[in-house]
Structure 1
């Protein structure tokens, strides 16, 4: 393993960038987009590049936050929570762990990091890291064969569960700078991966090498996309800014609604919906594409509440039903629907909506009592 580490030059370039912008080589404070890679657990999905937006002054936490947002889409439930409880208790050994603490830990999204290319003086202070969901076992996430093969090629023996993200950074303790990492960088013939494999095995005292079959399989499965063009990066940035503005408008609507300014709140929610890409909520509109949006379902629910307060019950119902199509497993959507149906005198339909909501709420959830009370107080068609 003679000669300079393959990523040494990138580390020197990153340090030069920091010194040029900050004068002292400290943490990168700029606002920019950084390219990383996601390796899906589902092998039918291609390995692809993702754009991580680094807000001003947020270089240290932006990538982990990006991963958390992805991993938080799947939460622990039922038997999975029991599995996680056992894991925590085993790790705690003889220390007492309260049920409240376990629930708090279960509710938090945390990220595990696997170091592929180590960050050391003799490697240019450049590291390549893989980020995975730390609750992979409890969530019963599937084994990720491609990510596991990448780890093996880098001289590690970790079995990866669920989707995995890979990013690159320069960090010499004084300076920190995120570097672009592209799908093409996962080619097993590249010097950095060979260096990482030899380095990690030597320092861990491991004797085994990843098999030729593993490396061949990895090379075959890596369907790398070309690096994004400047236009594509600009489009991604615009998309991010638009999404951020949509969230700002949603929060503005919440403040206006709380202040009793219902028409103004309704307008803010409507503008936010447009920025989020929703232009049609009619019964024939396909809203399935917004299922993973963090705000569209809430905006539709909030619009329904505003319209109901204005006595526009049909429009309130339309927004509530659209909300249910976006998030069919969200009880509140059916609560809004029942509210509008009740005001329209359509009590049996309201009863059906509340029953749907109750079917989705766990017995121990405090919200269940509220929905049950509403159902019990609902007039019959004969009343």
Structure 2
């Protein structure tokens, strides 16, 4: 039933992609004790399977116990995760099994796998029922995870490349722990936030798309054709070619032999598409393409300048003000920044005048 699935998802949480058959060899992970007086230390796993690792963790987390009152609170918390109209259908035996299993662990995503980090994910394994067992606060784990963590925890890493369909445990060291403690990730995945989960899934889907050599060659030719159209002053045709080229390069260009050329071409096509948007006064197109280019080239002067220009012309003055500040930070010529600021001030002044006229009519 749906209730059964909901409870299982809550009990297991965000886990490892076991369906891919995780590869497990000798690797290290880090024990993070809740007692600040005890130093974290590396543990070497030399077992034969991921199931063996999980069994070890379950035995560790089964040490704590909780009172009857805490069990009742946990039972209520589990039921609260089920839609109200379906709670009556929850199997009591399954619910009691979840409550009584004191060895479950929760996997807290700390670093999500991405191209930027070589598809290395880092997770914190903690007692699933630490709060109900009244375990002490783990200040170091809490800082890394940016949420309250109760009891001891373990930091583990895995290499997870969706395009290559690989999943394997890799080393987590004390140096990894110290880096995360000194600079906790700016954002961690909140599994209860549907919007954040959807964005993560979309990014994940993009990472599964492998750009073929044929598609890359077609994209490079489209870019060249777009350049010819710009030279001829046909910005509409050029925009179509740049847009098609950037779409063909959407995905895993890092697996191609000419990956550097293709990655640079995608940024160039997006910047050129933004340029065409400005020429055609299609401000939304110009802003969107520039913003996409900045995802891949965050220091691009052209990207920030074209984004700011489009936003000023769209009347998106708050965003334009931020983009203009980034123009100055990234070395856009001072005279161009000054021109943008003047255009911004003029737009804001005209907006205020319009608003005053509207208010005057309302109260006339």
TM-score range, shorter chain: 0.3 to 0.5
Larger RCO: Structure 1 or Structure 2 (Cα < 8 Å, ≥ 6 residues apart)?
Answer: 1
Which structure: greater helix fraction? 2
